Amino acid sequence: MIVGILSLSSCKVQKIVDEPKEELSQVAKSTTTTVEPELTTEPAKETSTEPATTTIAPTGIDPEVIKPNELGHIMVVMYHGIMDNPPYHRTKEEFTKDLQTMYDLGYRLITLDEYLTGRIKTEPGMTPIHLTFDDGLDTTFALKKTADGFTVDENTAIGILEDFCKEHPDFGHGASLYFHDTENNFGDVGTDKDRFDWLLEHGYELGNHTATHDNLSTLTEPEVIKEVGRVEKYVESLYPDMKLRVLTYPFGATPDDAFYQSALKGEYEGTTYDYEIGLREGPSGPFRPITHKDFQRYNAPRVRGSEGENGDLYWYFDYYEENPSFKFVSDGYPDAMYIPEDWEEGLSDYAKENFSIIKY
Ligand SMILES: [Zn+2]
C-alpha cells in the first residue's frame, strides 16, 4: 500500500507529444515508394508454433474494408490497484467501465509477448491494447482458498478482468504484473510462488518493478544494479529457468544517463538480467509498436488508466476516435504487416526482416 501512495505523490508527468502533427507531416513527406510490396500467398517462414487454424492468409482480407495499419499505435495501460484513490487506482466500478469502454471502442487485449514480438493475433479490424499492473498490490491480485486449492479473489483487478473476459470471450485475455522482491506480493493467501503459479498458469506475465520501489534516478550505478538484480535473483529462487522480459521504472524515473544501460542489462551476485524493454509511467506517448523504427525500446510509453486529465486513458480514447488513422488496426495475421503505403518509412529493420510487409 505504501508504494501506491509513493507513486501518487512522486509521479513524474511526461510531456505529451503532439502526435497528430508529427504523423501528418510524416504522411505529407512521403512521396515515392521505393520498395515493392512483398505480396505473398503463404505465411512467412517462422518458428511459430501457432496452430494453423488461428492464422489467416495475408491475402484473405480486403484492406479497403478493414483498413489495417500495423504500424499504428498500441496503448499500454498502466494500472495499480482497485481502490478509491485517483488517478493511480480505480474502483471496481471504474475499472469495469474502462474494460467495457475498451471493448465497445474495438480494443482487444494482447499479451506482453504479442506486444514484445509484434506478432499480434488480434482479429482483423480490431485494435490491440495491453494492460500492466505495477506495485504487486493485494487489490491488483490475490488468491482465495478453496477446498482443493486456490481461486482468484473476484474483487481484485485480475478477478474483475477474468469475469469480464468470460462474459466477452472475443475481448482477448491477459495482462502483465510487476512486483518487488518481498515475499508478500499480491496479498498473503498462499505464498508468492502459489500466486505467481496461478498467474502464469492463467496466461498472465510477470515483470520487474525493482526490489524496493526506489527512485532509480537518485541511485548510484551499484545501487541501480542491486535494485534491479535482487528481483531477478528472487525470481530465480522460485523458477530457476525463468527470466523476466520487462522492467517498469518506479515513478517513471530512469537512472543517470552515464549508466542508464545498467538497469536493463547486467549481473547481480551471479544472476544476469537483460530486459527487452523498459516501460515508463503514464501519461506519455506516442504509442508506437515495436515494429516502428522510432519505438523507444528502453523508454517505452504507457497511458495511465484514469479519467479526467490530459493524456490519460479517456483522453486517448477520444483522441483515437478523432484520429482513427493513427490506431494500430490488426490484419489478423501475426506474421504479416499490412500498412498504408504512406507509412512505409516508419518500418524498423526488425519489421523488414521478420514480417511479410504488404502495402496498400
Ligand atoms: Zn510503482
Summarize the confidence of residues 195-210 as an average pLDDT. 97
CA of 316 to the centre of ligand 1 (A): 22
Summarize the confidence of residues 168-189 as an average pLDDT. 95
Summarize the confidence of residues 152-181 as an average pLDDT. 97
- Name the range with the highest mean pLDDT among 15-24, 59-68, 79-88: 79-88
Summarize the confidence of residues 173-177 as an average pLDDT. 97
Pairing between β-strand 75-79 and β-strand 127-133 as defined by DSSP bridges: parallel
- Which pLDDT belongs to residue 284? 82
Cell (9 digits) for 337 = 504487416
pLDDT, tens only, 287-303: 999 999 999 999 999 99
Summarize the confidence of residues 327-334 as an average pLDDT. 96
Q: pTM for this one? A: 0.85
For the domain bounded by 3-15+54-359, which CATH number is listed?
3.20.20.370
CA of 299 to the centre of ligand 1 (A): 15
- Which pLDDT belongs to residue 229? 98
CA of 254 to the centre of ligand 1 (A): 13
CA of 134 to the centre of ligand 1 (A): 5
Hunting for cell 469480464 — which residue is that?
A: 164
The domain ranges of the chain are 3-15+54-359
* Res. 214: pLDDT tops 50: yes
Protein residues near ligand 1, an ion, with CB under 5 A: 7, 134-135, 250
Band of the pLDDT at 59, cuts 50, 70, 90? low
* Top-confidence residue, 77 or 183: 77
Summarize the confidence of residues 94-116 as an average pLDDT. 98
- Name the range with the highest mean pLDDT among 21-25, 41-45, 208-212: 208-212
Summarize the confidence of residues 245-254 as an average pLDDT. 96
Summarize the confidence of residues 42-59 as an average pLDDT. 41
- Which pLDDT belongs to residue 58? 58
CA of 291 to the centre of ligand 1 (A): 27
Please report, as a single letter, which amino acid is at residue 253. A
pLDDT, tens only, 108-155: 999 999 999 999 999 999 999 999 999 999 999 999 999 999 999 999
* Res. 248: pLDDT tops 80: yes
The CA distance from 86 to 195, in Å, is 26
- Which pLDDT belongs to residue 272? 97
The CA distance from 323 to 23, in Å, is 11
